[in-house]
Amino acid sequence: MRRSPVATLAAVVLSATLISCNPQLADDKPNDSTPTSKASAASPAPGGPEPGAGALTLTAAIEAIPDGDERRDGYERDSFRHWIDKDDDGCETRAEVLLEEATTKPVQGDKCKLTGGVWMSYYDEVEVTDAKKLDIDHMVPLAEAWDSGAYDWTPERRQAYANDLGSDRSLVAVTAKTNRSKADRDPAQWLPPAKSAHCTYAADWTAAKLRWKLNADKAEKTALLDLATDCTDTVVEFEEAAE
């Protein structure tokens, strides 16, 4: 089940607390120049945690994102088909995210029409009671994903990325205002207006990049590492997307 932003932040704090209380947990985390999933067997960096747990400190996770230059040539939004109803339950991806992230569940009607409900947009700490005022944000925007490696993907993999319900934070329900302010910008160019969201945002962004094996340019990594200096208790949890 996907977590709400509040639950995500609580999980980050809990993970950090557990690690500080039990150093052995930190030794069980992967730390390699190539991100590893729970099923991988890559060797850890010298002195680093063991692979397999799918979790890293924020700084280590940022450093694990592959380096690379961005490439915008050929990008079209239609290259990423969305929204889809993957499980044929009548609810497309947008509605699935709204249902899972609601702090007060909406009523689900015919053809997955949603009425009522309450959501918390963690980018700006705004409570929303009208789903029409929410956008579903791709944590790493489609254009940024293209620039960072998706230009070389199959149409099927781009569709899977655009409708990724397999990770809690790949897609988030936020106010339309903040989503459109963000547009296709990376953390070197845009951060959520609520400062309290910055550590969570950095962790979510990094997890999405690692999950989909997307690269980061120098400015993006520098901005993320700068954020990480104020997020020392933040833990990034991720699992690589299936090929």
Q: What are phi and psi of 5, to 5 degrees?
A: -55, -40
Give the model's confidence band at 54: pLDDT under 50 very low, under 70 low, under 90 confident, else very high: confident
Higher pLDDT, 4 or 94: 94
Report the mean per-residue pLDDT for the chain. Answer: 83
Q: Express each pLDDT in 165-215 by its tens digit.
A: 999 989 999 999 999 999 999 999 999 999 999 999 999 999 999 999 999
SS3 12: helix
pLDDT value at residue 90 = 96
Q: Long-range contacts made by residues 152-156, C-beta under 8 angstroms, separation at least 24? A: 155/79, 155/81
pLDDT value at residue 44 = 30
